């Protein structure tokens, strides 16, 4: 077991190919490579999806919460470094449950635990919380591949 470390936005930008408006992780609070990660997303009224989901009662779409969790898991996979031609694909989801609305002003705390990883396929248990309450949880599968392959 390694020493838990944190990752700032500059390193996140080096590890993930996502950019605004689709980068959904602001900071990694703690990571133990190849084991667990805790990250955060500050949810603000300035998010472009709130213009249409829903203008009179803005709610973060569940699919974007799951995407934020997948990005968190990708950071766990690439915590030390990402090969220049490596790309991370969302390959599957099981048991997704949404239990709390995520609203502007919330801080989404996301965790991912590597359950199994081999041959470029990784499985994670993921969870998103707001103020200590579970907002969403699932088991996700992701694949690391070479761009264009």
CATH number of the domain where residue 87 is located: 3.10.129.10
Q: What is the pLDDT of residue 81?
A: 65
Q: Inform me whether the pLDDT recorded for 7 exceeds 70.
A: yes
Element (H, E) at 136: strand 133-146
Element (H, E) at 127: strand 121-130
Domain tally, the chain: 1
The end-to-end CA distance of the chain, in Å, is 33
- Per-residue pLDDT tens over the stretch 10-40: 999 988 989 999 999 999 999 998 899 999 9
Which residues participate in catalysis according to the annotation? 53
Q: Which two tokens stand for residue 48?
A: 């472009």
Q: Which of 34, 30, 32, 24 is nearest to 6 (CA)?
A: 30
Q: What is the pLDDT of residue 146?
A: 83
Element (H, E) at 72: helix 62-77
CA dist., res. 41 & res. 83, Å (int): 25
- Per-residue pLDDT tens over the stretch 42-99: 999 999 999 999 989 999 999 999 999 999 999 998 876 666 778 889 999 999 999 9
Q: What is the pLDDT of residue 137?
A: 98
Q: Which of 1, 79, 3 is nearest to 39 (CA)?
A: 79
**Contact present, 90 and 43 (Cβ < 8 Å):** no
Q: What is the pLDDT of residue 149?
A: 62
φ/ψ (deg, to 5) at 128: -120, 135
Q: What is the pLDDT of residue 25?
A: 98
Q: What is the pLDDT of residue 40?
A: 97
Q: What is the pLDDT of residue 80?
A: 65
Bond preceding residue 21 cis, omega within 30 of 0: yes
- Give the domain range for residue 41: 5-146
Instruction: Return the bridge partners of 108, or none.
Output: 41
């Amino acid at each position: 077991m390694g020493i838990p470390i944190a990752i700032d936005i500059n390193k996140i930008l080096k590890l993930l190919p996502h950019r605004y408006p689709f980068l959904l992780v602001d900071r990694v609070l703690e990571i133990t490579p190849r084991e667990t990660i805790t990250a955060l997303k500050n949810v603000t009224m300035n998010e472009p999806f709130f213009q249409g989901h829903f203008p009179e009662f803005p709610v973060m779409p569940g699919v974007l919460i799951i995407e934020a969790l997948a990005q968190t898991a990708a950071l766990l996979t690439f915590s030390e470094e990402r090969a220049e031609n490596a790309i991370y694909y969302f390959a599957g989801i099981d048991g997704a449950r949404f239990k709390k609305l995520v609203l502007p002003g919330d801080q989404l705390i996301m965790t991912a635990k590597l359950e199994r990883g081999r041959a470029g396929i990784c499985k994670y248990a993921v969870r998103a919380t707001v103020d200590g309450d579970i907002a969403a949880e699932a088991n996700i599968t992701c694949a690391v591949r070479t761009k264009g392959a």
